Structure 1
Amino acid sequence: MARIDADFLQIIKDFSLFDDVYMNCFFKDFPEGIQFILRKILDRSDLVVKSVHIQDVMVSMTSKTSRLDVFAEDGEGNQYDVEFQFLPNENIPKRGRYYLGNIDQNMIRRGEDYDTLHEAYVIFICAGDPIKKHKPMYHYTMKDEDGNELNDGQHLLILNADYEGDWRLKDLMNDIKAS
């Protein structure tokens, strides 16, 4: 029997969905996993994931390339980018804006009407609270100065997996962090 080095064994024990290698193994052949997570986060039991792409690269000839952790599309054409951030930084909101723009750009083809754009979600599951307002989840949409929703279909969700208080996703966040 092969003997495993203690340091290597500890690395394996510490794996969670915040590790790209483990996340890739977990979702690659198990799209139901991301479907379950999306259903819980969005509180939609009817959401059915049609396709999943792990570490999907959105290449642009003129701008920064994006590497999406888990990219999913549901049966209605809505698109979801789920990012697992172990070390979230202050740039999460602008990164979310950039990813939403990339999703939109790849969702509509030349000559298509803007009405063909489906809902787009970028979801950051963070080990920590990058917004620093001590909330479990932040859901951003476009609104005017009076608080009226624009209903443009873009959603940026930032989840604080380390939130200590009770909330509906606490068990899910603990499972995601579990090694």
Structure 2
Amino acid sequence: MIITDEKLKGSIEDKMAIADSFNLMDDDFFAVVMRDKAACSYTLSRLLDKKLNVIKVDTQYAIRNYNGHSVVLDALAEDDEHKLYNIEVQVKNKDYHPKRVRYYQASLDTLFLEKNQNYKELPELYLIFISATD
């Protein structure tokens, strides 16, 4: 295999230095880490101070709204009790967070309540925003 991307060339030490600079506030790194159910379970357990078991997780989960604003969730997880967890990482303070949270919740609720379903059938949902600026 021939490496043609200049960013991928270099010594193992160079690559380790780049990897050492990553943290969960980096969008791409966050997505890779949260894709692992055990890592996601551990992170949620630490954040919520309770033991839970993630059975499904999707990163960069897109909810398309053809009549309005679409959203892409950083991580959407489901635990073994079928509770949902939307974990968002915000590095910049570019949006009004309370309304952003409200819009994300509404988008998820619309997605998980089908026609003729009762509102009590909506799954329990936790929205977790991790912000570097708050």
Q: Same fold (TM over 0.5)?
A: yes
Matched, 1:103 2:108: yes
Q: How does 1:131-170 map to 2 (within 5 A)?
A: none
Structure 2 counterpart SS, 1:52:
strand
Could you say which residue in structure 2 is the equivalent of 1:3?
10
Task: Indicate how the Cα distance of structure 1 residues 88 and 35 shifts in structure 2: closer, same or farther if over 3 A, else same.
Answer: farther
Q: Deviations over 1:60-99 (max 9, x none)?
A: 1111110000110112222111011111345111100000
Could you say which residue in structure 1 is the equivalent of 2:75?
70
Could you say which residue in structure 2 is the equivalent of 1:20?
27
- Give the one of 96, 105, 113 matched to 2:118: 113
- For structure 1, which runs of at least 5 residues remain unmatched after alignment? 130-179
Structure 1 counterpart SS, 2:77:
strand
Alpha-carbon distance in 1 for matches of 2:48, 2:119:
24
Moved over 3 A (4+): 6-13
Alpha-carbon distance in 2 for matches of 1:54, 1:63:
22
- Give the one of 60, 63, 70 matched to 2:65: 60
Greater share of helix: 2
Alpha-carbon distance in 2 for matches of 1:43, 1:3:
41
Could you say which residue in structure 2 is the equivalent of 1:94?
99
- For structure 2, which runs of at least 5 residues remain unmatched after alignment? 1-8
Alpha-carbon distance in 1 for matches of 2:49, 2:43:
10
Overall identity of the aligned pairs, in %: 30
Aligned length: 125
Alpha-carbon distance in 2 for matches of 1:9, 1:55:
26
For residue 9 of structure 1, report the CA deviation from its aligned partner. 7.1
Alpha-carbon distance in 1 for matches of 2:111, 2:53:
21
Two-structure CA RMSD over aligned residues (Å): 2.1
